[in-house]
Copies of this chain bind each other. A is one copy, B any other.
Amino acid sequence: DAVARTGAVAAIVRDAVLTQPVWDMHTHLYPPTFGTPSQSAGQPSDPNGLLLWGVDELLTYHYLVAETFRVVPNAELSYATFWSMSKQDQADHIWRQLFLERSPVSEACRGVLTTLAALGLDPGERDLGRYRRWFAEQEPSKHIDRVMELSGVSRITMTNAVFDDNERLRWLENPQVAADSRFAGVLRFDPLVRDWPAAAAMLSRWGYPATESLDEPSVQNARRFLNDWIDRVSAIYCAVSLPPTFRYESPEDGTYSSRVLSEVVLPVLAERGLPFAMMIGSQLQVNPSLRDAGDMVGMSDVNSVTRLANDFPDNRFFCTMLARENQHALAVAARKFGNLMVFGCWWFLNNPSLVDEITRMRVELLGLSFIPQHSDARVLEQLVYKWSHSRQIIADVLIDKYADIERTGWRVSEKEIRRDVRLLFEGNFSRFVEAPAP
């Protein structure tokens, strides 16, 4: 009967969503060859290493640092004191304040528990020492395999910030640094679009002479710079993070960013057949004392995105925005442009109530033609909770939507459900980057 049918469909959807491998399109994770600051079995610690993992990194995630400074504010434990503490002492402080002195109900706290549990550790023990000992015994590369297995992530997309000295030098020193098939590269170059004069100075230093005026030789050198680095990181797309104030009116609107986009970035990407990802709405460092935790959200201009999609039909654009109040218009914008792919519930939006409303709205407006989530993981094991929590919500939404159409007499087969879920978790992305799913 109808109830049994609904239950059967729901069970298939849940299974499909929970088991479907996902190509995680945006993380801040790296292979062990980029070094890791954590203590581990089998790899010496590199204090500036880029791969973060382990329980102390999970606990000192900047989301939790921010929450801790609410309950023990600067007036009680100063920013300076906190930052001078060892990572383990910081983690102890956060654990005590956010998990023991009050219940860990925020999404970021809950994420730590979900992660520990999935790794076979028991959050009910509340035994930080034991968790630490377990992590110290892991060998990074095998641990990555295990985390990918547990989170159902088939490939991890990096964010390769070419203007970051620490990262850039690692690429230059070791051309094989990223020779790890579990990871895919993304060239990220915020200063190029956000601050051309500063970027031009750096390009010049790096052998790509460029002037503030962005004259023709500068354009050519900047393009060569992009091409070289796209090759070096084998980038599957390029990306920038843009502030809420970002505006694009036209190539001739008189801003550096519009000129850089129209003369340098978009022509190169069109030629290379690579999408351009824009993450818009993060306002940097409203509280510098919080460091990585000090950025804020702001409303962005969706019209700038539709104008880019319209003016550059030979480019493909990924776009996510940070403000809740941009989500409806951004989803509508995607209805207007086939070369615009909305993705993810970013950062302050990656909370159950918001993921639910955004995903529901997107399915209603866009069907299956979007990318529901990325993890944005900065610490390896966050893959586990970010995907576990999101999968539950995505499954709930799909169950409702299949139930709605089944009520009309339409019948959806298991094969169709798995096909649909594959589109959301892998197919839409791999098709947009024109690369086969892993």
Q: Which residues of A contact B (CB under 8 A)?
A: 66-67, 69-75, 98, 102-107, 109-110, 113-114, 116-117, 122-124, 126, 283, 286-287, 290, 293-294, 296-299, 303, 306-307, 309-310, 313, 323-325, 328-329, 332-339, 348, 351-354, 357, 360-361, 363-369, 398, 401-402, 404-405, 408-412, 416-417, 419-420, 423
Contact A336 B287 (CB under 8 A): yes
Contact A296 B333 (CB under 8 A): yes
Minimum distance in angstroms from A187 CB to a CB of chain B: 23
Contact A353 B357 (CB under 8 A): yes
Q: Which residues of B contact A405 (CB under 8 A)?
A: 103-105, 109-110, 113, 123
Other than the given A103-B417, A323-B328, A325-B328, 18 more pairs (CB < 8 A) read: A67-B367, A71-B367, A102-B367, A103-B368, A103-B412, A104-B367, A105-B368, A106-B367, A110-B401, A110-B405, A117-B408, A124-B409, A286-B303, A296-B336, A298-B329, A328-B348, A335-B348, A353-B364
Q: How far is the CA of A294 from the CA of B102 in the complex (A)?
A: 42
Q: How far is the CA of A124 from the CA of B412 in the complex (A)?
A: 9
Of the residues B114, B336, B354, B408, contact of A66 by C-beta under 8 Å? B336
Q: How far is the CA of A114 from the CA of B409 in the complex (A)?
A: 9
Q: Which residues of B contact A354 (CB under 8 A)?
A: 328, 361, 364
Find the B residue at minimum CB distance from A72: B338
Chain B CB within 10 A, most for which of A74, A103, A298: A103
Minimum distance in angstroms from A9 CB to a CB of chain B: 11
Chain B CB within 10 A, most for which of A117, A293, A329, A401: A329
Contact B404 A103 (CB under 8 A): no
Q: Which residues of B contact A306 (CB under 8 A)?
A: 286-287, 296
Q: How far is the CA of A402 from the CA of B168 in the complex (A)?
A: 44
Contact B365 A106 (CB under 8 A): yes
Q: Which residues of B contact A67 (CB under 8 A)?
A: 335, 366-367, 369
Minimum distance in angstroms from A2 CB to a CB of chain B: 13
Contact A70 B366 (CB under 8 A): yes
Q: Which residues of B contact A69 (CB under 8 A)?
A: 338
Minimum distance in angstroms from A340 CB to a CB of chain B: 9
Q: How far is the CA of A130 from the CA of B256 in the complex (A)?
A: 58
Q: Which residues of B contact A102 (CB under 8 A)?
A: 367-369, 419-420, 423
Q: How far is the CA of A332 from the CA of B294 in the complex (A)?
A: 10
Q: Which residues of B contact A122 (CB under 8 A)?
A: 409
Find the B residue at minimum CB distance from A350: B364
Q: How far is the CA of A365 from the CA of B431 in the complex (A)?
A: 34
Of the residues B66, B107, B307, B401, contact of A105 by C-beta under 8 Å? B401
- Whether A420 touches B351, Cβ cut-off 8 Å, given contacts A113-B405, A339-B73, is no
Q: Which residues of B contact A352 (CB under 8 A)?
A: 360, 364, 404
Q: Which residues of B contact A113 (CB under 8 A)?
A: 405, 408-410
Q: How far is the CA of A21 from the CA of B309 in the complex (A)?
A: 44
Minimum distance in angstroms from A182 CB to a CB of chain B: 26
Q: Which residues of B contact A116 (CB under 8 A)?
A: 408
Contact B105 A336 (CB under 8 A): no
